[in-house]
Structure 1
Amino acid sequence: MKKLSLLVLLSVCAFAVSAQKTWKNDKPHSQLKFDITHLGVSTISGAFTEFDATITAAKPDFSDATFNLTAKTASIETHVEKRNDHLKSADFFDAAANPELTFKSTSLKSAGKDKYKLSGDLTMHGVTKPVTLDLTYRGTITNPQSKKPVAGFRAIGTVKRADFGIGPKFPAPMLSEEVTIIADGEFGPQD
């Protein structure tokens, strides 16, 4: 009887694991951006152009999803080469010593229809801190060209530079302490 119970338990666990599906971001239709205020009067925007994100979920509405993201800090792009180089330096991201930034979700809580509070650990500049982002699930459709499902998400949140030791030589209002993160993505299931 114990062997039968153990077999049933293992079967249920195996089914639960196999029911989960991993979705990967479609790079041409995904972006990881940020906004920061300069001198208190203008907004400077930038992006990390090289990143990978995955979502793992068993439910079709993604209400049980976990999110993971890794971005290359040297891929920072602000459309000004001199500024890009400065942001990669030890004054800011120190891309040589900290080549990646990561986000690993720890919880997902409903905040209304298709809206969630996505909490997780953000690691930048060698520092890991908990952050919470506002996540919107934009739905799942069938891509008319590939005939495969595509799910869309947008995450927005704010982090403080000082929490991660980024740009300590540049106090506010030269550069705002708060940086807004905006992540948009289309995700497709992994085969």
Structure 2
Amino acid sequence: MKKIAILAATVLSLSYSTASLAQTWSVDKAHSRFGFGVTHLSISEIDGNFKNFEATINASKPDFSDATFDISAEMASINTDIEQRDAHLKSPDFLDAEKYPTLTFKSTSFKKVSGKNYKLTGNLTLHGVTKPVTIDVVINGPITHPQSQKSVAGFKFTGKIKRSDFGIATAMPASALGEELLLMGNAEFAKN
């Protein structure tokens, strides 16, 4: 019985120490952008971004191979630099920002492919629908910021989803609006 108690205490101690080593990294919004691209009339690419977003990374390994990502964006902050188009995108014809105010992504795995290249898998909730997605990520850094002296790292995100999978503008033909939405992000994170 004593051996079982010692073993249980050791396992709990190891679990606690591993969890306590995790570091939180917060997004530097001044040096970050999360957005999208879509083909218009099969001839041009229209892109935009979300002005209001949050993102954090938790990782205990220096190469981020055990990282978890938590990203969200406000649908009402969509920006394509054309006010009339932005208003239409927020409407029930597209994103229905009033009914579905937030996009969220919560990672389930982050695996190193080679060098600085990773595959990020997680659950994307958009337009009231949650689906698993996989995103390519390239990491730059970490380095020590010359002014703040904090550890900082850069992450470039790219992935694709189908708008019909999320019930977005399902009545619109692909010849008018591309079926594939490109997800894009360039973000700097600083260790807290």
Shorter-normalised TM range: over 0.9
Counterpart-to-counterpart distance in 2, 1:102 and 1:28: 20
SS in 2 for 1:176: strand
Counterpart-to-counterpart distance in 2, 1:105 and 1:10: 25
> How far off its partner does 1:154 sit?
0.7
Residue identity in the other structure for 2:123: D
For 2:89, the equivalent position in structure 1 comes to 87
> How far off its partner does 1:151 sit?
1.0
**Candidates 34, 44, 47, aligned match of 2:46:** 44
User: Which runs of no fewer than 5 residues in structure 2 stay unpaired?
Assistant: none
Give runs of aligned pairs for residues 97-176 of structure 1, distance below 5 A: 97-176=99-178
Counterpart-to-counterpart distance in 2, 1:72 and 1:100: 5
SS in 2 for 1:26: strand
**Candidates 162, 180, 183, aligned match of 2:182:** 180
- Name the Cα RMSD after superposition: 1.0
**Candidates 25, 28, 37, aligned match of 1:23:** 25
> How far off its partner does 1:10 sit?
1.9
Counterpart-to-counterpart distance in 1, 2:157 and 2:189: 13
Residue identity in the other structure for 2:47: S
Q: What is the count of residue pairs matched by the alignment?
A: 190
Runs ≥4 residues deviating over 3 A: none
Instruction: For residues 56-93 of structure 1, give each alpha carbon's deviation from its aligned partner in whole angstroms, at most 9, with x where no partner exists.
Output: 11101101111110110000000000000000000111
Instruction: For residues 76-124 of structure 1, give each alpha carbon's deviation from its aligned partner in whole angstroms, at most 9, with x where no partner exists.
Output: 0000000000000001110101010001111122211111111111110
User: Which runs of no fewer than 5 residues in structure 1 stay unpaired?
Assistant: none
